[in-house]
Amino acid sequence: MHSRIAGTGGYLPAQVLTNAELARRIDTSDEWVRSRTGICERRIAAPDEQTSDLALAAAHLALASAGIAAADVDLIVVATTTPDMIFPSTACILQAKLGVRNGPAFDVQAVCSGFVYALALADLMVKSGTAKNALVVGAEIYSRILDWNDRGTCVLFGDGAGAVVLVPAMAPGILSAHLHADGHYREILCVPGTVANGAVSGKPFLHMDGGTVFKFAVKVLAEVAQEALAANRLPASAIDWLIPHQANVRIMDATMKKLGLPRERMITTVDKHANTSAASIPLALDVAVRDGRIGAGHHVMLAGVGGGFTWGSVLIRW
């Protein structure tokens, strides 16, 4: 038994925040952000929108494209670092909003690698026969954990959600998944705050050592893609599409270079939504599936990296 992706969906909140608009609020410029990151604009969730609302919109689109009714979903995995609340999980809240009662629902917290982690887990559950129609979502509202006066971080992130539906298949589908973590790097990208005794202690805003993150991300994205190629006895040239975590176009370009792949085989959407953490890979996947770039038989490599540090790849034969 194998699993395959039967449908994809993506949702971005309506409010667009351009680099030019940011430059009116803080000491930055469109040129600085664009040339360092490739980001042109990001989306900001409305005050009454929750992560589960973004997840719901993406989930409806993924279910519609898979031709599967919400009532038939028997597993929900939501990758998020910005849940609606401490608990219950955003997956359980999404389950209720979908009007579904079947099967398990839980969140995965692996920051920007979250979607790759969630997809790898769902693949195991579908392959083993535990689930038949798995909804896997990456959804984030980073705008609420940013210090909007810190120009070094606030220009980099945005809000959004992406989703896929995973179903059983006689042939892959998902060829392999490789996941890694090294908590020794936990301080280079973190939100070092917590809720204790009814109050926030620590700093509940994103903190990042940009240069170290940059180098680490390029190294492990290339390594984990190569690990997947070796496991499947495929050369790098077999990758039709690489969908790296959409953090920064320079990190993504450097990864392509390390793999010896031309830029044309990379799916890039970071310019439109900035870094949406766990939502970035399914958002990019959805765009490339809908515009017809990804087609039957293509090898699609998803490669994620994020706080923790965590990283991982999922190789798919479409």
Least distance from ligand ACO to the Cβ atom of residue 149, Å? 11
Nearest to 279 by CA among 174, 155, 180, 141: 141
Position with the least CB separation from ligand ACO = 210
Least distance from ligand ACO to the Cβ atom of residue 223, Å? 14
Which of 92, 133, 275, 299 is labelled catalytic?
275
Least distance from ligand ACO to the Cβ atom of residue 229, Å? 21
What is the Cα–Cα distance from 228 to 218, expressed in whole angstroms? 16
Closer residue to ligand ACO in complex, CB, 165/213: 213
DSSP 76-127: EEEE-SS-SSSSS-HHHHHHHHHT---S-EEEE--GGGHHHHHHHHHHHHHH
Which of 178, 245, 273, 299 is labelled catalytic?
245
Tell whether the torsion through CA atoms of 60, 65, 69 and 72 is positive or negative. Answer: negative
Q: Is 245 a catalytic residue?
A: yes
Q: Quick one: which H or E segment has residue 31?
A: helix 30-37
Least distance from ligand ACO to the Cβ atom of residue 194, Å? 21
Applying CB under 6 A, the residues found at the interface with ligand ACO are 28, 32-33, 36-37, 112, 151-152, 155-156, 189, 208, 210-211, 213-214, 217, 245, 247-248, 251, 275, 305-306
Which of 112, 154, 178, 248 is labelled catalytic?
112
Closer residue to ligand ACO in complex, CB, 13/158: 158
What is the Cα–Cα distance from 80 to 8, expressed in whole angstroms? 18
Cite the active site residues: 112, 245, 275
